[in-house]
Amino acid sequence: MSFLKEIQRRRTFGIISHPDAGKTTLTEKLLLFGGAIQEAGAVKNNKIKKGATSDFMEIERQRGISVATSVLAFIYKDKKINILDTPGHKDFAEDTFRTLTAVDSVIVVIDVAKGVEEQTEKLVEVCRMRKIPMIVFINKLDREGKDAFDLLDEVEQKLGLKVTPLSFPIGMGYDFKGIYNIYEKKLNLFSAENKQTVSKGIEFTDISTPELDEIIGTKPAETLREELELVSEVYPTFNKEEYLNGEIQPVFFGSALNNFGVKELLDCFIEIAPSPQPKKSEERLVDSKEEKLTGFVFKIHANMDPNHRNRLAFIKIVSGIFKRNAPYLHVRLNKKMKFSSPNAFFAEKKEIVDESYPGDIVGIQDTGNFKIGDTLTEGELLNFKGIPSFSPEHFRYVNNADPLKSKQLYKGLDQLMDEGVAQLFTLDLNGRKVIGTVGALQYEVIQYRLEHEYGAKCSYENLPVYKACWVEPEDPKNEEFKEFKRVKQRFLAKDKQGQLVFLADSAFTIQMTQSKFPSVKLHFTSEF
C-alpha cells in the first residue's frame, strides 16, 4: 500500500470527559467493535477481575479511575484507528493536556444525567483553542437524565460549541426505546436483554410511515416525528468541512455500557474524522505527507514492566515513515540514535513494529535520553511547540522515610518526574526537595508507585506555597536581579531542568515582587 494511502487510512483521536462519564467504557466498546477484544471488562464491577483493558496500572484497578493516558490501536473497516484514552480526573489534567497535542480529533463524552461538568469545560477549551475537530457522545441513555434538547442547549452554552445532532434518542431511562440515526436514516431499537450484542438497524427513509407506529408505539412515534422536525429547523445541517475546521460539532446519543449507539458513532467517525494533520513547529509547518520523518515525545511512562524498570517514550509520528533500526536525530541532544525494538500498543500488550506511519504512536525503550517535548527528525533541526509544564497548585516537602533506601527514592523520584506526573524543585538554600502537583491525588499515586515499583518509602510535609513562577531576568548580571536573589533567597529553587523558580506564598507576593523588581519577569508555565 502506498505511503499516501497509509496516511489516509489512519485516525488518531483522544477521548475526553469529566470523571465517570463513561470514557473508559466507551474506549472498551470501540475496541469490541473493532474486534480487538472479545469481551469488555466492566470497569466498575470489581467482581470481574479483568478490569478495563485500558486501565493497566495497579492503582487504576484499585480506584476504578484512569490515572495515565493509555494508547490503543485497532483496525476497523480497513481504517487504522489509534485511541488515546485520557484520565478524566482533574488531578491528572496535565497528562491530558499534553495528550491533546498528539491527536487529530477528539470525542467528548457527556453523562446524560449530569450534563456538562467543569473538567469537560476546561478540556474542550483547549480543543477549541487548537481548533481540534470534536464529536460529542451523550452517554448513559438507559438511565434517567436531562431532556435531549436541554442537553444540546447546555453543550452549546457551556462549551461554546455549535452542535448538530446526527442521532436522536427515543425516550430515556425506563422509557428508552432506541435511537434514530439521522446520519444513516436508520432506526436502532434498544433491548436491555442483549447488553453484549449489537442490535441491527432498521432502515427508514420515510419516518411518516405507519410502520414506525407499529414498531415503537403510536405515542413515541409521534414524539419522534415532532422532535426530528424541530431538529431540522433549529440545528444546522452537518457539513464535513465545517467539522474539520472545528466550527461545527456532531452529536451522538447512546449507552456505552449497553453497546448502544457506539457502532453508529464509530461508523460515522471513520468516515468524517480527519486523517493525520500538519503540525506547527517553531521553525515551520510540517505536513504529514512529507517523506522525511519527524515526530515528538508527548508522554513518558516509567515501569511499563516493573520487573525490568523500563521506561517508554511515546512518540507521535508527524511525517515520514518511522523505520526500525534507522538512525534518527535527537534534536535537543544533537545526536543520532537507532531503535531496535519500537513498539505499537494495545493497552499493556506491545508488539515490535518495523514501520510506522504519520498518525501512529510508537513506544521507544528509553534509558533517560528523552524528555517530554523532544523531537526526532532525519537531520533537520525542528522543535514542536505547545507541550508546556504548568505551575503546580499543591506543594509538599518530600522526606525519605527509609534512610537505607535513599538511592532508590531519588531514582524513583527522578523517573516519575520525567513522566510529567509532578514537578520536582530543589531549594537553593538547603537543597531540600519539593514536589509540586496539579492535584492532591497525585501525592498518593507517587507514594504508591515509589513503594511498589522502586521499594522506597517517602513522607510529606506541607509547604505554604501559592504558585511556582519561572524566573526570567532581563539581564542576569544587573544589580536588580542580584537584589531579587538576595531578598527572595529562601523562596528560590531550581526545577529539574535547572531553571530558576520563585515559590511565591500568595498572589499578593507575586504582585509586590513584580512591582519592586520590574526587570525580573515571572511566568506560570515553563515555556516562555
For 491-528, give the DSSP string.
GEEE-TT--EEEEESSHHHHHHHHHH-TTEEEESBS--
For residue 71, being part of any structural domain is answered with: yes
Same domain, 13 and 149: yes
Give the end of a domain, one of 312, 343, 377.
377
For residue 386, being part of any structural domain is answered with: no
What is the C-alpha to C-alpha distance for residues 528 and 460, in angstroms, rounded to an integer?
30
What is the C-alpha to C-alpha distance for residues 285 and 279, in angstroms, rounded to an integer?
6
pTM above 0.85, yes or no: no
Same domain, 133 and 249: yes
Tell me the residue range of the domain where 399 lies: 394-523
Same domain, 364 and 466: no
Q: How many domains does the chain have?
A: 3
Residue whose C-alpha cell is 516509567: 302
Tens digit of pLDDT for each residue in 486-504?
989 889 999 887 889 999 8
Same domain, 145 and 261: yes
Cα 388 to Cα 22, 148, 295, 456: the distances in Å are 28, 38, 17, 29
Answer yes or no: is pLDDT of 380 > 50.
yes
CATH of the domain at 483: 3.30.70.3280
For residue 199, being part of any structural domain is answered with: no
The beta strand positions in 153-258, using DSSP E, are 163-165, 167-170, 178-181, 186-189, 201-203, 249-253
Say which amino acid occupies 375.
T
For residue 243, give the 3-state DSSP assignment. Answer: helix
Q: Please give the backbone phi and psi of residue 56, each rounded to the nearest 5 degrees, phi first.
A: -115, 5
CB-based contact 152:139 (threshold 8 Å)? no
For residue 191, being part of any structural domain is answered with: no
For residue 492, count other CB atoms closer than 10 A to its CB: 17
On the CB side of 15, CA atoms within 13 Å amount to 33
For residue 186, being part of any structural domain is answered with: no
Same domain, 259 and 366: no
Band the pLDDT of 302: cuts 50, 70, 90.
low
What is the C-alpha to C-alpha distance for residues 435 and 422, in angstroms, rounded to an integer?
7
Same domain, 328 and 458: no
Partners of 115 in the β-ladder: 111
Give the end of a domain, one of 250, 272, 294.
272
Q: Please give the backbone phi and psi of residue 57, each rounded to the nearest 5 degrees, phi first.
A: -90, 145
For residue 339, being part of any structural domain is answered with: yes
For residue 328, being part of any structural domain is answered with: yes
Q: pLDDT value at position 76? A: 83
For 113-142, give the DSSP string.
TTBS-HHHHHHHHHHHHTT--EEEEEE-TT
Query: CA torsion angle for 371, 374, 376, 379 (degrees, to 10)?
Result: -120
Give the end of a domain, one of 377, 406, 424.
377
For residue 224, being part of any structural domain is answered with: no
Tens digit of pLDDT for each residue in 435-478?
988 777 778 888 888 888 888 898 999 988 888 888 988 888 88
Same domain, 244 and 342: no
Same domain, 349 and 404: no
Q: pLDDT value at position 44? A: 37
Say which amino acid occupies 156.
E
Tens digit of pLDDT for each residue in 323-367?
888 899 888 888 898 888 887 766 446 677 788 888 888 888 877
Same domain, 8 and 84: yes
Same domain, 8 and 112: yes
Same domain, 373 and 471: no
What is the C-alpha to C-alpha distance for residues 518 and 521, in angstroms, rounded to an integer?
7
Answer yes or no: is pLDDT of 296 > 60.
yes
Same domain, 88 and 156: yes
Answer yes or no: is pLDDT of 285 > 70.
yes
CATH of the domain at 30: 3.40.50.300
